Structure 1
C-alpha cells in the first residue's frame, strides 16, 4: 500500500483529498502546515507528498525545495495560482507535477498514479532485482536509493538520483537531453532541456572531484550524457 502525505492548510481540501485517495486504497496522512508536514515526512515516510503552495508558516516553494533536497520523495504541488511562471518555478524547484485548484478528482488520481509509477518503474531500465552498482569509488543502491562515494553517503535530490539511476542502469547508452527530460520530468513538463543540464551540473558537484573532467556522468558532445565509459 502506497503512502501519501497531504500538506494543505484548507481542511476541506485535506478531507476531500484524503477521502479520494483512501477510496483507491492509499494510506494517507494529512498536515495543516509545513512544520507538521516535515515532522510527518520523518515519521510517516510517505511515497508521495501532495503540497499546497500557500501555507501559514512556510512558502510552498521553500518547503518543496527542502523536501527534494533532503529526500527522494516525489512532490506534486497543489495551488490556486494558475500562472505559467508559478508552475515552471515549482517544477524547476523539483516538484514532479503541478495541479491548479479546483481540480477534478479523477485527474488528481491519474497524476498520482503516473508519478508513483514513474518512481516505481525506474524507466527506461526497469529492474527491481538489480544489485547495487559499484563503479570506481561510487556505489549506487537502487532499492534503498543510497549513493556512497568512497564509503561516504552522498545526499541527492529525487531528480538527481533518477538521472544517476537512469544513466547507470544502461552505461553503454547515450541519453539525449530530450530522453532524460521525458523520463525524469514527464512528457508534459513545461520547462525545457536546460532543466536537464542544470540538474546534471548539480549532480556533478556532488559526485565529481573535477567537474570539468567528470568520471561518472560524462557529456558526449553533440549527443547527450552517459554514465562512466572513460578509461581513467
Structure 2
C-alpha cells in the first residue's frame, strides 16, 4: 500500500483529503504543522509527501528543503497562493509539482500517481551493450538511468532524471513546454508551464547552464 504523508493545518481539509485518498487505496499519515510533518517523515519515510505551503512552525517550502537534505522522494506542494513568486520558490526548494487550492481529489490523485511513476525509475528496455549517450562532459546512461558530468554521478531527483532523459532521447530537437509537461509530468490535460521552466533551471545548475538551450517562443533543446 502506498504511504502518503499529508501535512495540512486546516483540520477539515486535512480530514477530508485523508478520507478521500484512503478510498483510492492509499495509506495516509497526517500532520498539522511543518515540524510535526518533519517528525512524521523521519519516523518513516513515505512514498510521497503532500505539503501545504502555509504551515505553522515550519512552512511548506522550508519543509521541502529539509526533506530534500535527506531524501529524493516525490513531494507535491498545495497552496491557495498562485503568485508566480510563491510557485517558483516552492519548486526551487525541490518540490516536484504544485497544486493550487481548491483542488479536486481526482486531480490530486492523478498528480500523485504521476509523481510515483517518475520516482519508480524503471530501467528502459535498452540492450546492456548499448553505450551511454555523451554530450560534451555529460554522460547519460539510459539503461541504468544514471547521469554523470565529468565522470561524477549527479544527484538528480526522479523528475530531473526523467527530464534529462527526454532531452537526451532527442538531442538538438526543440521540445515545447507542453510536450515536456505531457512526457515528464503526464499532464495530458495541460498544466502550468512554470513547472517546466523551474525544473529546467534546476537541471541546468547540475548539468551545465549551456547544455540546455532556450529557443524563445518554442521551448528547450539539448545542445549537441
> What TM-score, normalized by structure 2, do the two folds share?
0.68
Q: Is contact 2:76-2:98 (8 Å) kept? A: yes
Structure 1 match to 2:106: 109
Structure 2 match to 1:89: 86
Structure 2 match to 1:100: 101
Say if 1:218 and 1:18 are closer, same or farther in 2 by CA, change over 3 A. Answer: same
Distance 1:154 1:173 in 2: 23
Say if 1:108 and 1:150 are closer, same or farther in 2 by CA, change over 3 A. Answer: same
Say if 1:25 and 1:199 are closer, same or farther in 2 by CA, change over 3 A. Answer: closer
**SS in structure 2 of the partner of residue 36 of structure 1:** helix
After TM superposition, give the deviation of residue 198 of structure 1 in Å.
Answer: 4.6
After TM superposition, give the deviation of residue 6 of structure 1 in Å.
Answer: 0.3
Distance 1:16 1:166 in 2: 37
Q: Is contact 1:72-1:159 (8 Å) kept? A: no
Q: Is contact 1:90-1:98 (8 Å) kept? A: no
Residues 71-90 of structure 1 mapped to structure 2, 5 A cutoff:
71-77=72-78, 79=79, 81=80, 83-85=81-83, 89-90=86-87
Say if 1:174 and 1:119 are closer, same or farther in 2 by CA, change over 3 A. Answer: farther
After TM superposition, give the deviation of residue 25 of structure 1 in Å.
Answer: 0.8
Say if 1:45 and 1:190 are closer, same or farther in 2 by CA, change over 3 A. Answer: same
Question: Cα RMSD (Å) of the superposition?
Answer: 3.9
**SS in structure 2 of the partner of residue 225 of structure 1:** strand
Residues 73-222 of structure 1 mapped to structure 2, 5 A cutoff:
73-77=74-78, 79=79, 81=80, 83-85=81-83, 89-90=86-87, 93-94=90-91, 95=95, 96-101=97-102, 107-117=104-114, 119-120=116-117, 129-130=124-125, 134-136=132-134, 137-140=138-141, 147-150=147-150, 152-157=152-157, 159-171=159-171, 173-184=173-184, 186=187, 187-190=189-192, 196-208=196-208, 211-212=209-210, 214=211, 217-218=212-213
After TM superposition, give the deviation of residue 5 of structure 1 in Å.
Answer: 1.0
In structure 1, runs of 5+ residues without a counterpart are none
> What TM-score, normalized by structure 1, do the two folds share?
0.66
Alpha-carbon displacement from aligned partner over 1:20-71 (angstroms, at most 9, x marks no partner): 2122111222223223323443553333322122222112233345556862
Say if 1:188 and 1:115 are closer, same or farther in 2 by CA, change over 3 A. Answer: farther
Aligned length: 210
After TM superposition, give the deviation of residue 9 of structure 1 in Å.
Answer: 2.8
